[in-house]
Chains A and B, each alone.
Chain A
Amino acid sequence: MLSLSKHCFFFWTKIGLSATSRTIELPNPLALDGGGELAQARLAYETYGELNDNRSNAILLCHALTGDQYVASTHPVTGKPGWWERMVGPGKPIDTDRFHVICANVIGSCMGSSGPASEAPDGTPYAMRFPVITIRDMVRAQVALLDELGIEKVHAVVGGSMGGMQALSLAANWPERAARVLVIASTSRHSAQNIAFHELGRQAVMADPNWAQGNYYATELQPDNGLAVARMAAHITYLSEEALTEKFGRNLQDRDAKSFGFDADFQVESYLRYQGSGFTQRFDANSYLYITRAMDYFDLAEEHGGKLADAFAGTEARFCLVSFDSDWLYPTSESRHVVRALNAAGAAVSFVELSAPHGHDSFLLDVPALDRVVKGFLG
């Protein structure tokens, strides 16, 4: 397995130098919800499509937990297509012939934006000295990016899963910055179950002796095993039981009979191991800790005096929420909870529960109804 520290630093540097991803250093220190501020915060971002003359056709796209800015361009580490190429591009539902799509790597992540793997002022990686951040901090950084780009108001802010949390946070905290808010398979707060799964993942990382309190960047030993287990557990939550059964059933992997041992006898085991190890090649374990923490801390109502409707009081934005019937991570009831608050606030809101078999990951997969809704809502 590749050494993550070298790898992470390698592409981190590479991105900074090459033209593939633009990186901006925010001019002002970034104030943080946890107190204090992050000086010289960097944001790496990609754009697709031209910004029009009156700067009114921008769409801010917010990525999910392990996503990044490579929405519709080849990932520099994996060489795989962008994570939402089916949705974003010329003539696609988010049409880059019409819209200027901006996607920034969130702070805390590891694809060029400031995170635990970045260099602290003392010249060594922050590791666990990186401040604990929130979803609102991530959004604050992106609002600062919009300021730098001279974009006062985006045509829409769009996000699925954690991206949806960012879209809601932007709508609640910077209501004048987005005309439309599209939230897919997301929630306004992390439930006990959501937190529980994330804690499982974090404990897997931290239980790996190679984690070394987060100080593994200078060594060859990486907490890959822990991070892989975290990813495996998380991956199960992204899929529906139906999808797993449909895809794997009880099929055996490359064998005719059970081994009566602990190899990956079943295809589903093999698949999860593959997902887990693949993930360690492109993601920093400490980033995983920080971002899952930010998601767990997310409770939009709590930020606004305990009443979610108050988060959206007076908003003039149009909202659209989409859930999937097979998503048990952020089920329809969570979207309804947001819709209820938006209705109480008198906001213009659309909501639809789409039928798709894939579970939470449906927002990334082939669901033609989602394409139509996205296209129609963006206008």
Chain B
Amino acid sequence: MRLYTPATNYGLRPDLAVIAKSIETESRVLDIGCGDGALMDVLVENRRCDARGMEIDGACVERCVAQGLSVVQGDANRDLADYPDKGFDYTVLSQTLQTATRPDEMLDQLLRVGRQAFVSFPNFAHWRTRAALMFGGKMPVTRAIPVSWYETPNIHHVTVKDFRELAQEKGAKIEREWFFSSGLPVTAGTNWRAEFAVFQLSR
């Protein structure tokens, strides 16, 4: 991922950087799958947010807490249900949707717990992925989807088009959207050209 990280953007991955910039200052944010807390750290330090995190990996949680961040070790598939309705201004699910047991239910939870939700994911319809499957005849292993089929945590690959349909089915309004390839914005032909997508949703 480091490959795509421009030095600006708070030193964040592009999807996290647009999320950080789109979140209003001093808001309440729940970062689901917060990893080592990079986004939370920026939100707390630069945006004066009350940021909370959820992360399944104990080692990541330990690092977050050691940094002074409020992070709960938990499984988003199960533990999001514990949070009250609209307890947060924003929920963030970055590159985790495709690992969810039920992405549709997780989207419901995101929009229940937060007034707005940010969702980012690798786009399975990117031309590299399509080419790998079409010409290689094998499950794609690309720079956006770098892990082999047998050990990938990505159990629900999703495309930009799929996600739009899901959002519509769920009655979620797409407030804003961003697309990236090689860390640079993509504006046209997104379902072909975007390696990563970020959506801001509300309901």
Contacts and interface: CB of A to CB of B under 8 A. Distances in A.
B67 A376 contact: yes
A352 B70 contact: no
Interface residues of A, number: 23
Main secondary structure of the interface of B (DSSP, over half): mixed
Given A320-B65, A373-B66, A377-B65, A351 B58 contact: no
B83 A349 contact: no
Interface stretch (A138-146, A225-233, A339-347): A339-347
Interface residues of B, number: 21
Contact of A348 (B50, B62, B64): B50
Contacts of B79: 340, 343
Max chain B C-beta neighbours (<10 A), residue from A340, A346, A352, A375? A352
A349 B72 contact: yes
B73 interface: yes
Interface string A346-366: 101111111100000000000
B65 A350 contact: yes
B69 interface: yes
A344 B65 contact: no
A255 interface: no
B87 interface: yes
Given A352-B58, A353-B58, A353-B73, A379 B66 contact: no
Given A343-B83, A344-B83, A373 B70 contact: no
B68 interface: yes
B72 A343 contact: yes
Interface in B40-89: 50, 52, 58, 61-62, 64-74, 79, 82-84, 87
A340 B80 CA distance: 10
A372 interface: yes
A351 B62 contact: no
A351 B50 CA distance: 17
A349 B61 CA distance: 12
Given A340-B82, A344-B82, A349 B70 contact: yes
A348 B72 contact: no
9 contacts: A340-B79, A340-B82, A343-B72, A343-B83, A348-B50, A350-B61, A376-B66, A376-B68, A377-B68
Interface of A: 318, 320, 336, 339-340, 343-344, 346, 348-355, 369, 372-373, 375-377, 379
Of all A-B residue pairs in the complex, the 4 with the closest CB atoms, nearest first, are A376-B66, A372-B66, A352-B61, A340-B82
